[in-house]
Every structure is written in structure tokens, then in C-alpha cells.
Amino acid sequence: MEKRLEKGESIDDLIPIGCVRPKGDMPDLSQHNNCMARCLTPAIFEALKDKKTPSGFTLDQVIQTGVDNPGHPFIYTVGCVAGDEESYDTFKELLDPVIEKRHNGYTKDMKHKTDLNPDNLNGGHDLDEKYVLSSRVRTGRSIKGYCLPPHCCRAERRAVEKLCREALEGLEGEFKGKYFPLNGMSDAEQEQLINDHFLFDKPVSPLLLSSNMGRDWPDARGIWHNESKNFLVWINEEDHTRVISMEKGGNMKRVFQRFCDGLHKVEELIKNKDKGFMWNEHLGYILTCPSNLGTGLRAGVHVRLLKLSTHERFDDILKILHLQKRGTGGVDTASTDGIFDVSNLDRLGFSEVELVQKVVDGIQLLIEMEKRLEKGQQITDLYPAGMPEPEKKEGKASDKPYKAELMSKNFPDLSKHSNWMAKCIHEDMYNRICAKKTKMGVGLEICIQTGVDNPGHPYIFTVGAVAGDEECYETFAELFDPIIEKRHNGYTKEMKHKTDLDSSKLNGGDDLDPAFVLSSRVRTGRSIRGFRLPPSCNRAERRQVETIVSSALASLDGMFSGKYYPLNNMTEDEQEHLINDHFLFDKPVSPLLLSSGMARDWPDGRGIYHNDAKNFLVWINEEDHTRVISMEKGGNMKAVFERFCDGLKKTEDALKKQKQAFMWNEHLGYILTCPSNLGTGIRAGVHVKLVQLCTDERFNEILKCLRLQKRGTGGVDTASTDGIFDISNLDRIGFSEVELVQQVVDGVKLLVDMEKRLMDSKPIDDILPKAMRPPSPEKPAEEEKPAEGTTSPVADGDAGIDLDAEGTKEGEDKAPEEAAAAGEAETKGDGAADGEAEKPADDGEKKEEEKKEEAKDEHHHHHHDADAPAES
């Protein structure tokens, strides 16, 4: 670039992708169901994409939560947040229409009303306590001059905490109380707050996490409550403050009186410190989410409506009263015993008094209806004015979200991403393949979405792509071929994979020393041809896969005879047994898996099969169509592999009788969701005790030369316990199943021999893998090379293929196995990241490079195992 500029030449063609934002790179929101997606047009995007508020908040940050969380056809979210007070002005071209849609026609020229005088409330002191169990009023307040939670830095968050804490400490009388910081409370205080249901948790909702609400948790968050425990303030949860007044029973007037008085007192104390609340005459009180603008107020009661809640017009009645219902456990929870949390639907355009009045009057009417129904009487004459006829759910063309063109302007910004998809795709390639679809209708966006949504980390390198069906690897070969080549250390598109499930070809493996090898396991995945894979299959396909596989498994006999346990239809006793055996897999929580669509309709169509001896398992519709696992305690890997091969063959034969087959081709071997698991999909592993060897500085290099990887026995990303490691094969494709298990058998034997030598204080230099031994003075060591166009496993320690430059590893499953020391089934920690969970000591440049390589090597997904999307 410097040389070009010295000559007065342009450098535009040299600028890396992502440094300059291409015109029109608007996200594809065609499948999104939120206000932001309905309001954001290409023209608005172009007008706002380069704007920033004075604090630096951008349009991308405003809309990120709505882009990452498409929503659901029947669950309509806002899809955007503000990062500071100025966001509502800087991005008003988008936020004004969002506000108008969300707040029922509240236009940009309207003015909000504020009324916090409780004397203006009529009634509310006598809601029938046979029906009304508790009453509550809450709101949020933001401190002027500080960024809001999606954008604030640690210093700002701490300043907000300090300001609010000092102000609250000035309260007296019925409001006098104490502040409890989340990161500085005693165990007894924490227990008491839990018992009082006052303690708020770190956000887990994807909507909040995508908005950056969980950063630095629990730093500068806390809870204040008065001595009577009926006036609370939460600090730095989802807004700067949440103010709550509450009590048991039906005296909403007293609750609202306390709410208003407390708010006034807190505001005065904050003003004494030359600060104030964010407020303007158009939007009222400013809060993070546009849904809470205006009053930010939710006045609600827990009310028992056993009869009315079953009435066919219940929802219509609530709608016309401008009320909303939820279960008493909070948003998205179901009612218990006919008890509902009923509150005001509106926030903006009505004053606080008006909204509480709606709740008071509405609840009185609902209770009157409930009493009528208890007596078997009609309630038609009590219907509020304007009751609509039952609506037919038909979408209007005008409400459909704008569908962006899938051309270059839709190319995602991957400039900050650390995954193979981001490294392999470029805009020209994207333009060529973005409009393609497989015969089953899978497009490119489904394949790359997880890599777009999850940028990764410079030292944690993931795959960043999944397949939605078998044909994806062909339709999008221009992208998948280089991903596979990079991920699998030079496995090119011309190569052919080797499949060999003849366990008789395994040499040894029945004599791994049980004093060191505590348990053995082999697992793989299989996909059923003719069905889309988990990222894109629909409910009908998923259920059909479950029916086909469970029927095939039910025909197994002898040592493979067992039982299938569907996740959505098992007894409590069965569930307890599966938990105790560590066989039960959980709903995915990793963003990598959620972005891949793996958790849709959970737990529908999922289940677990195991034989009577509990040493042969099949998981159905977890992260692949099937996961097949063979395992047992001790060091007889040969018996484990024989059972694995026999069980797979019997299962495949049973499927063939139903005219079904596994996905397989001669280039990629067995086809699975994540490219990291192509080929064999196999992970053969043991729990082995290497107390001495693991402290040797050459341990990681030894494993690398043996094409093995290590992790703690708790699964991916866990540390070793008492020198016990889970050691398994590093490769998947280009080697046969027999070859990979042979690598593990021979490698583990060598590791155990080294361990025994070190225990006897003897050197191990002469039994190191050949690649690590110094050349003989008489005859220099020759480099062994695999046959051209193939890769070969190396039993004696030579590396058949070098680790790729990035040192990446692959996705791993979550399957259980017999546990080591304690003698119980292994934890579900087989994670999507093969490789080491521990890093070598950092002692100089060489060690630092090893550390970085290992970390890169360590990709991954969430808490438990999951090869496929895990690695995605």
C-alpha cells in the first residue's frame, strides 16, 4: 500500500474485506418476526449504517439482537435496543416506526403524559383478596449522562452503582433499607434474597445476551430493599435501575402510593448529586428497550381465575381491556391452578395513573365475571364495549417483512471472525452460490448462519458452517471443499475416504493395562438418507427419523436388545435412571448450536436407546440423526470396538429392511451435520492415568506426533483430575475406523510404557515417537511419507499428516462413557472441540507459540459434548 501511494496509485483493491463497509450490506431479515425487521428497509439501513451516537453506539448494535433472534411467527418481539439516550434521536428513522408499531400508533409528533400523583387513582384499595393474591408496580429509570447497559463500559456501570447506592442510603422512614452487591454479599445474605425471591440472575436469554447485557457479570450489580421488604431497587440489571413496590393482597392503591413516594424521594436524592433521570416530552422516561418507553410501568396482580381462564373469549376480553396475562413464574410461563399475573399492556402515551386505573378497573371486572361463571351464569352482558368477533389469523401483505436481495449487498461482514467458513468465503464466491438451493430447499444462509452469528476468538478456531442436508456438500462445494481441506489437514476434493468396520483387523487392544486405563469408548454419528439434517429438518422429518431409527433398534436382539426412551414421553423413574447413568442429553444452550437451529421444537422427536447391559447406546435427533456409542470400564478396547462394529452393522441391516440407508459417499465417507465429523465420525477414547507423563514438558508434543488429543474426564474444556485424561484420536477423515482405533491402541500403549518408566525414574528418550528422536550419528533418520494422495495412521508415533497451520480440532460428541476413577458412567462432556483442555506453561517465545496453537486447536461449543454444530 505504501509503495502504491508513493506512486500516487489507488489502494482500493488492496484494502482487506471488512475495513470498508460495502454499500447495502443489509442483513437478510426475510425470516424474522420482530418490529425491527418489519421497519428496517434498505433505504433506512443505508441512511443509518455509518452513523454513531456521541458515545459511539452504531446501527449494528441497535439491531443486533433482532438479527440474531428471528423470533417466532406467534411471538412478536421488538428486535432492537438503545445504547444511550441519544440513540432514539440518532436512529429515529428506524426507531420511530418501531415505536409506532409497538405502541399501537404512537407517532413521532405525539407527547407523552406523566402523572405520579397517587391521589388521582380511583379505588384500588379493595380488590377482592379471595381472588387477588398479591399486587405489584414496577418501572425502570436511567441515569442521564451514562450509556445504557448494552453499551456502557465497566467504569460507567460502576459509577451508576455508586450514585444509586449513595442516594438510596439517604432514604429514611418506611424506605430505609440496605444495599446488597451481587459480588460482595455473604452466603447468608444470598440465601435470604433467594428465599425472598429478590435475587436476579445473570441473563441467559439469547435476546439479552445478543444485546450485551451479561458483560462483566456480576460486577456493579446489586439489590436494595427497605426493611419491610416491600420497596426494592435493582441496579444494573437490564436497565440502570428497576424500582418495585409490592405486597400481598389486593390493596393496589397502597402499593401505588408507596411506589410514587419512593420514586420521588429517590429522584430528589439523585438530583442532590447533580444527576437526573433520562426523560423527554415525546418519549417520557428513556429505557433500554423501546417497549418500556414512556412510563416503563407494569402494574400487576396475581389473580385466581379458574373459570374465566377457560372461557373461549378470555383472551379477547383481556385485549379489549388493554391487559396482558402470563404465568406467575414470569414471562413465557404457564398458569398454575388458574392463577395468572395480569398487568397493563401499554407503556407509552398513557400516564402512570391511567395505566394503574386500567388494571384496577379491569381486575374488578374480571373478578365479577369469575363470580358469575362460578354460579353457572352468563357473562355476555359484562363484556367490555368494543368486543371484537373472534379473529381469523391471516397475515396482511403490508405486515410482511422486507426481503433483502441475496446478492453482494447481503454478504456478511466476517472481518472479525475466527472460523474456517469466514476464512474460506469471499464476496465473489458468495455472489455465485448465495441464490443456489439444494433439491430439498436448503440455501447457503442456513449453512453459514452459525459462523456469522458466532465470530469465535483468535485462539479458538471453529468450523463456522453446517450442512442442512446431504446435497449441501455438493451444491455448496465451492465453500465446503476448502473448509474441509483446511479443517482436515489437506484432505482435498480429489481424495477418497477409506471405510473399514472389520474389527478383526485391529491388532491388540484387549490388553491395555487396567491399572492405568480406566475405561474405553468408541462413538460415531450416522445420518439417514432422504431426510434433511437437524439444522433444517422440519418436525415431520424429525419425527419420521425417530420412528425409523427407534423401530430398527427395537428389532435388535441378543446383547443389543434394549429399550428406547423418548425425551418427551418418559416416566420420572426412567428420567432419574438416565440421569444417574449420565445417559440423558440436554437441550443445547451453546450459541453455536442455537444459531444452527438445533434446539427447535425441543424435545419433540428426540430420545435415547440403550441395551440391557448399558454398554451400547444410540441418541436420536440430538445434533445428528443418530449418535452410536459403545463403552465399558477397563482397557479392553478390542471388545468395545467389536461391539461398536457389530451394533452398527445390525442397526444398518435393520434400517435396510425398511428400505433406509445411511448417508455415505466415497469422497466424504459418512455424511454428518458438521464438516468436522465427516469420514468416520469416530472418536475412540480411553480414560488413562498419566500422573508422571503429564508433567513432562514434551507431553503435548508426544500426543501431537501420535495424532492423539487430550482433555479432562469431564469432557471438552475441562482439566485433568489426579492426572487422569481422556485420550482419543485426532483425525476423522482420510483414515479408516480400524486405522484410527489402532492409532489409539498403539498410542495409549506407548503412553503407558512411558508412564511406567517415569514412575521408576527411568528415561523415555529412546521410546519417544520417531519424529521426536534425535537422528542417529551413524544413520540420519529418514522421513517416512504416506502414499501419494492418501493419508496414513502411524502406530509408532510418526505423524501421518501435520496439524494444519491453525492447529484446529474438530467437533466432538456428548456421548456418555464408563467413568474412570469413580466407576460411574462418564459425563456428557465430549464436546465439539477435540483437543486439549489444558495449555502448556508459557516460558518463552516457543512456549507462547505452542500455547496459541493449542488454544486455536481447542475450538468450541458449550458445556457438554456435541461434535457437529458444536464445532460449527
Which contiguous run of DSSP H or E holds residue 747?
Answer: helix 737-759
Neighbours of 489 (CB within 10 A): 20
Q: What is the pLDDT of residue 569?
A: 86
Say if residues 772 and 701 touch (Cβ distance below 8 Å). yes
Please state which of the ranges 161-175, 281-295, 321-335 shows the lowest mean pLDDT: 321-335
Mean pLDDT for the stretch of residues 129-140? 96
User: Residue 849: pLDDT above 50?
Assistant: no
Which has more pLDDT, 342 or 775? Answer: 342
The SS3 of residue 116 is coil
How many CB atoms lie under 10 A from the CB of residue 719?
A: 12
Extended beta strands in 425-583, E state = 517-526, 562-566
**Each residue's pLDDT tens digit, 611-628:** 999 999 999 999 999 999
Q: What is the residue whose three cell numbers read 383478596? A: 129
Of 630, 629, 627, nearest to 662 by C-alpha is 627
pLDDT score for 354: 97
Owner of C-alpha cell 454428518: 672
Three-class SS of residue 336?
Answer: strand
* pLDDT band, residue 602 (cuts 50/70/90): confident
Q: What is the pLDDT of residues 89-125, one digit of tens each?
A: 999 999 999 999 999 899 999 999 999 999 999 999 9
CA distances from residue 416 to 363, 775, 788 in whole angstroms, order as listed: 52, 43, 37
Place of cell 474389527: 503
How far, in Å, CA of 38 to CA of 76, rounded?
Answer: 11
Least confident of 1-10, 234-243, 366-375, 570-579: 570-579
Residue ranges with strand state E in 92-207: 132-141, 177-181
* Cα–Cα distance, 579 to 859 (Å, whole number): 27
Whole-angstrom Cα distance, residue 457 to residue 447?
20
Place of cell 469420514: 679
Q: Which residue type is seen at 392?
A: K
pTM for the whole structure? 0.51
Residue 192's contacts (CB-CB under 8 Å, 6 or more residues apart) are none
Instruction: Name 532's Cβ contacts closer than 8 Å, sequence gap at least 6.
Output: 440, 442, 468, 469, 538, 541
Q: Residue 709 pLDDT more than 50?
A: yes
Q: Tell me the pLDDT tens digit for each residue of 476-499.
A: 999 999 999 999 989 999 999 999
Pairing of strands 616-620, 607-611: antiparallel
Q: What is the mean pLDDT of residues 186-193?
A: 85
Angle among Cα 268, 218, 236 to the nearest 5 degrees reads 25
% residues pLDDT > 70 (the chain): 82
In which residue are the cell numbers 508412564 written? Answer: 755
Question: What 3-state DSSP class applies to 445?
Answer: helix
Least-confidence region, from 26-30, 187-191, 653-657: 26-30
Q: Which residues pair with 253 in a beta bridge?
A: none
pLDDT band at 390; cut points 50, 70, 90: low
- Tally Cβ neighbours within 10 Å of residue 805: 10
CB 240 within 8 A of CB 83: no
Residue 845 has pLDDT above 90, yes or no: no
Query: Cis before residue 412, ω within 30 degrees of 0?
Result: no
Q: Is the dihedral of CA 329, 596, 862, 62 positive or negative?
A: negative
Residue whose C-alpha cell reads 485426532 in the numeric block = 730
Across the chain, mean pLDDT equals: 84
